Amino acid sequence: MNPTARRGAQGFALLGAVQTSLIFTLTAIAVPLPQIGREFGLGRADLVLLNAAYGLSFAGLLLFGGRLADRSGGRRVLSTGLLLFGAASLASALAPDHPALLAARFAQGAGAALLAPAAMAVLRTLFAEPAAHARALATWSGLSVLGATAGNLLSGVISAAASWRWTFAVPLAVTAAALTLGPRLLPADPARDDRRHGPRAVDRPALDLPGAVLATAGITLAGYGLVLTEDRPWSSPAVVGALVGAATLLGAFLLVELRVRDPLLPPGFLLHRRRAPALTAIGLTAAGTSTTFVLLSLHLQQQRGWSPLATSGAFLPFAVALLGSGRATGPLIGRFGPRRVTVVGLAVAATGLLLLAATGFDPGLPYPVALLPGLVLLPAGAAGSFAGAVVLAAQGVPRDRSGLAGGVLNTAMELGPTLVLAVLLTTGSDSASLALAAAALAATALTAAAMTRPGPRAGTGHRTPARPRAPAGP
């Protein structure tokens, strides 16, 4: 491997570790929540909010973080996010009481909202050639599911062996490594004329702060309202008030975006023929895997009497299948194209969910028969769906919108599980919830097959390329 390729691989590994740790931190306290509740004397409502705090600020600030990375430079915002994320992780580990831990989790999410889009902006600089960037994205897409799986697996092991506080050692270690190695392994931000005192600096529009405030408040309030539905009916005043307020704020955000010179989220960005179904696929795939973790974790502990450690171990086949299929997605995209890989991945993931819905919650069936087939097919399909959909969603995005693309992609990953889980829990049946999630994935596969099909370019009689040709390895 030549020095340039080696540096690219090392930089990718460092950025990938950061991205994985962000999602690890999202799920890391889910299994030890009962321990935290006993230590601080918390009820169910407090635990639900504590578990959701990180995701609320993470999802709410992602669009702002993405535009900030585009304007200020991905590496600069990455460094800022690392400092905030690391400090908040240390504060979480040392939290003396519930309010301190809750505030630290919100701060962690704010740091993550800077890190996730900034990392994708730096990735674009690290792999400037389009085919190499597509290959890197195909590998990158599996990191979120890997992080969620690692969080569920390791949190049970760590909390059983020591304390829930030690789960924060993982993001702390990654932060320290990234701050130490980043200046050597990651490229500097590309020079921009509008950062100098040239003609473009005069015409540069101001950052869309009203849009940032409205989007952050609207997304956070929507997420909070959906979190409330876990222990309150949809008709309760708190839920209705939160959701109506969120809809009002997001409506105002859309009006602002139509009027400003440099919108936080350009109106046409989400409506692209390929991007809309790709983002739907990302959100629903994340929702399907997240719902599976939540429902099966509760079933194994409450119905089968398994310990948290044994419950974490039950998802080991999921992790193995995810790693194996994740390595295959890049070459598959290079050969068959992101559209086909996305559609087939959605179909395979839907099949895995259907199997889990049919047998996973039958306490009369032994573990391997009830869960193993679904826990292999679901991650295999999810890896393909994520990889293909991320490449589809990022195709054609200009370099100066890489942070925006990262913010939108991660918002889909964050809001998808929150929204879908809140809806699925209203079915009253774990099996019905997974079956409904499988139907949504199947419908998305059909939509993606139709809407992402290559067509003639506007104004020409030529067809767009079916897929990027990617070199071997990022």
**Res. 454 pLDDT band, cuts 50 70 90:** low
Q: Is 186 within 8 Å of 14 (Cβ atoms)? A: yes
Mean pLDDT confidence for 229-248: 90
Mean pLDDT of 417-446: 88
Q: Which of 53-67, 86-100, 143-157, 283-297 has the highest mean pLDDT?
A: 86-100
- The pLDDT value recorded for residue 172 is 96
Average pLDDT over residues 425-444: 90
Q: 240 pLDDT band (50/70/90 cuts)? A: very high
At 159-214, the pLDDT tens digits run 888 889 999 999 999 999 999 999 999 999 887 654 444 444 445 667 788 988 99
CATH number of 3-186+264-451: 1.20.1250.20
| Half-sphere CA count of 27, side-chain side, radius 13 A | 28
Q: Give the per-residue pLDDT at 470.
A: 41
* CA dist list (Å): 410 to 38, 97, 140, 238, 361: 33, 30, 12, 27, 31
Residue 457 reports pLDDT greater than 50: no
pLDDT at 26: 85
Q: Which amino acid is at 96?
A: P
Listed in sequence order, the residues at least 6 apart from 116 whose beta carbon sits closer than 8 Å to its beta carbon are: 19, 22, 58, 62, 65, 406, 407, 410
pLDDT at 201: 46
User: Can you tell me the distance from the alpha carbon of 380 to that of 348, in angstroms, rounded to the nearest whole number?
Assistant: 7
What is the pTM for the complete model shown? 0.81
pLDDT value at residue 467:
44
Query: How crowded is residue 398: how many other Cβ atoms within 10 Å of its Cβ?
Result: 10
Mean pLDDT across the chain: 85
Q: Which of 51-60, 71-80, 136-145, 192-201 reaches the highest mean pLDDT?
A: 71-80
Q: How confident is the model at residue 10 (pLDDT cuts 50, 70, 90)?
A: very high
Do 338 and 391 meet the contact criterion of CB atoms below 8 Å apart? yes
pLDDT tens figures, 110-139: 999 999 999 999 999 999 888 888 888 888
Query: Average pLDDT, stretch 293-302?
Result: 82
